Structure 1
């Protein structure tokens, strides 16, 4: 089944396919329906006409690869964000999903996107192809009576965010989330300049010295339930967060509670007063990631200060055809001077005997701390940061290691657990 890159002339067929899969309607006579897809992404598809009984001008399956960038271990790495993957009802059950997803991963590798991310409604079908759950997008419902207790924080003032001050908000986001794992870097063209629109509002928090100290953003909702969707509350310290939460509490005259979106290890969780916050109702969105290029993903991160050593890493991957991407293999990993080098071992195709023999059978060089053996799911979980090999084993993933090598890799990958606030 030939998978090809879609062109602007395929835009209408793609929108018709995704509206059928995910809901909505498309008017073929509306010029907007045939407008080119947004820049900053690659779309792949399979023509229905290439399949038995197929039709001309119809896509049997298609998906978009966003060219995103995420923070990782103090560095940043390019990421293939997978969106709008759909298979036409007439062609489901014919293996097109697996064929298309393998092509998507191969394209990510070709376009130097060492990791892939997606938000699945059915995680199991993606797990079969090597994706692993690494985070959940958590939202709390917070009663405003709790926030009313917050006192004014001296030396700080809030100002409205306008188109002119929006670059200051973006700069704060970049700075205050740089140490997180998996947070998207909000760069164009996928994140256009200017105000987000659709009711989005925000305030900047400014110190007495004129330094921007944080911001809070929200959308005012109508109808029943929490009347305010708070997207982000970011600040330099606890007092900044307290000052911004006090602004959110000022809505107490018009609504009883707010929905507050938080990161996995969000500092705001330790600042919320009272004990009334609870998980918001509804489905909790799942974030899955997959290693595409193990060496490039390791080298994108910074090593903790003072950490040095070497280990041999073996990653096995039986979820996609061999050669689809560069996740699997044997790598010599060197950590020194704040940098990570991951060198593929030439001619090191993993055999079934080596894989079943355990880490000590991998014949590590004498200078290393030993060997670590991961399946692709464990590699995807661990290389996203903030988890240990013991965490992977508790999840039922294959993560075997010589003790010194395990300690070194755990120290290298330590940090906050992955968080993602953006969706696509």
Structure 2
């Protein structure tokens, strides 16, 4: 068995599409035209066994909002391995090549929606949040308090720029949202408006301060009719009330709104906090995972909570390893994060300096994170104390409070599935 990992060419498309159809269902997938395939910015990788395609994945390049800025991101999707070849390290081999290329292209982090999180934890990814479909009863939504100073109207193509600005204003306060400004796979304004029954705008003094994109659904019996809401984003409480009340006005013929959202408990999206109660039911959950690819690019210039004085830390990336399978050396985990740094956020903007210290010796004078622990801390998903409980942080506890504080303040929210 001779294994080769390389970028997919157009001639590989029949087998690439076949394996995708086999892994994800939905029937045979047509091979795109050469012109269509060459026009995309996606990067496709595969492992070939004696020339036959045995595993595949796709990389989307985009930017994600983290700590007040847009961070270049490698989004991984479409990971599939032929069933006869599973368990032979092929996923790790593909990720090693794809993530190394991503780092060379300046992508500081990588994210994905896993079908099985355990596979990707071994590669340094960790679950930082979830993108879910939530059912909320419209008869209760209809009882939302009336807004003050906000009116609603239907959006047109001319409003897409204002909608994108609302999304950006919301996303800048979160960790995780994909930017919708000039992203290569984001849809055109015309197609975006045509996709929905309606996009409702919340307008205050002539300015768009919120929007909801919705598909009415079929039927007029509340017990069985479901409306789908892809976005409900509001920058003010009255904008949220106005949007919810518009959806609630369907309650005599539509019983449920199935809303795409993220966060739960204390981390719920603020637009939900204006509802008279939070009677909701999660029907679909999509965990979202993150891995840091480049510590300096991910953190330099990030708007973190100011902490007095410099804070040293290190990363021991045990996800990077090499194993021998099928006569080939397969390195796993992509870009190795191992190293030691000092971070200074006393002015609110992160500045990093790399320290010349062996990671093995770093436990004596600084906290040491695993790659998974760095992902969780970076996203603000777990405190330093919790990372110690999970085995993702070792070394001195002197700077634990500072690390927790500097990465807190923004919740993880996701609004786009890829």
User: Do the two structures share a fold, i.e. TM-score over 0.5?
Assistant: yes
Conservation of the 8 A alpha-carbon contact between 2:95 and 2:334: no
Number of the residue aligned with 2:234: 235
> What is the SS of the residue equivalent to 2:350?
strand
Q: Distance in 1 between matches of 2:402 and 2:210?
A: 35
Number of the residue aligned with 1:378: 373
Please list every run of 5 or more consecutive structure 1 residues that lacks an aligned counterpart in the other structure.
363-370
Q: Distance in 2 between matches of 1:73 and 1:270?
A: 23
**TM-score by structure 1 length?**
0.86
Q: Give the superposition deviation at 1:32.
A: 4.8
Q: Distance in 1 between matches of 2:319 and 2:233?
A: 39
Of 388, 406, 412, the match for 1:418: 412
1:274–1:303 Cα change, 3 Å: closer
Conservation of the 8 A alpha-carbon contact between 2:129 and 2:262: no
> What is the SS of the residue equivalent to 2:158?
coil
Q: Give the superposition deviation at 1:388.
A: 1.5
Q: Distance in 1 between matches of 2:350 and 2:277?
A: 43
**Residue 202 (structure 1) aligned with residue 203 (structure 2):** no
> What is the SS of the residue equivalent to 1:113?
coil
Q: Give the superposition deviation at 1:11.
A: 3.0
**Residue 3 (structure 1) aligned with residue 5 (structure 2):** yes
**Residue 400 (structure 1) aligned with residue 394 (structure 2):** yes
> What is the SS of the residue equivalent to 1:253?
coil
Deviates more, 1:377-386 or 1:220-229: 220-229
Q: Distance in 1 between matches of 2:111 and 2:237?
A: 31
> What is the SS of the residue equivalent to 1:172?
helix
Conservation of the 8 A alpha-carbon contact between 1:11 and 1:37: no
Q: Distance in 1 between matches of 2:9 and 2:198?
A: 36
Of 82, 88, 107, the match for 2:82: 88
The size of the alignment, in residue pairs, is 396
Of 104, 115, 120, the match for 1:126: 120
> What is the SS of the residue equivalent to 1:285?
strand
> What is the SS of the residue equivalent to 2:271?
helix
1:204–1:314 Cα change, 3 Å: same
Conservation of the 8 A alpha-carbon contact between 2:147 and 2:241: yes
Q: How does 1:54-65 map to 2 (within 5 A)?
A: 55=52, 59-65=53-59
> What is the SS of the residue equivalent to 1:288?
strand
> What is the SS of the residue equivalent to 1:100?
helix
Q: Distance in 1 between matches of 2:319 and 2:8?
A: 26
Q: Give the superposition deviation at 1:401.
A: 5.4
Q: Distance in 2 between matches of 1:130 and 1:38?
A: 31
> What RMSD over aligned residues (CA atoms) do the two structures have, in Å?
2.4
Q: Distance in 2 between matches of 1:274 and 1:250?
A: 17
Q: Distance in 2 between matches of 1:2 and 1:27?
A: 24
1:80–1:156 Cα change, 3 Å: same
Q: Give the superposition deviation at 1:166.
A: 1.3
Please list every run of 5 or more consecutive structure 2 residues that lacks an aligned counterpart in the other structure.
323-332
Q: Distance in 2 between matches of 1:401 and 1:308?
A: 21
Number of the residue aligned with 1:290: 291
Conservation of the 8 A alpha-carbon contact between 2:131 and 2:287: yes
Number of the residue aligned with 1:389: 384
Q: Distance in 2 between matches of 1:5 and 1:148?
A: 52
Q: Distance in 2 between matches of 1:95 and 1:36?
A: 28
Q: Distance in 1 between matches of 2:130 and 2:315?
A: 25
Q: Give the superposition deviation at 1:181.
A: 0.4
Q: Distance in 2 between matches of 1:249 and 1:285?
A: 26
Q: Distance in 2 between matches of 1:225 and 1:289?
A: 37
Of 97, 107, 113, the match for 1:113: 107
Number of the residue aligned with 1:301: 302
**Residue 329 (structure 1) aligned with residue 312 (structure 2):** no
Number of the residue aligned with 2:349: 339
Number of the residue aligned with 1:350: 359
Conservation of the 8 A alpha-carbon contact between 1:102 and 1:324: yes
1:94–1:151 Cα change, 3 Å: closer
Q: Give the superposition deviation at 1:232.
A: 2.0
> What is the SS of the residue equivalent to 2:124?
coil
| Higher relative contact order, structure no. (Cα contacts within 8 Å, ≥ 6 residues apart) | 2
Conservation of the 8 A alpha-carbon contact between 1:76 and 1:300: no
Q: Give the superposition deviation at 1:327.
A: 1.8
Q: Give the superposition deviation at 1:269.
A: 2.6
Per-residue deviation, residues 198-229 of structure 1 (Å, max 9, x unmatched): 4363111111x211111111223337845111
Q: Distance in 2 between matches of 1:314 and 1:273?
A: 46
Q: Give the superposition deviation at 1:170.
A: 0.9
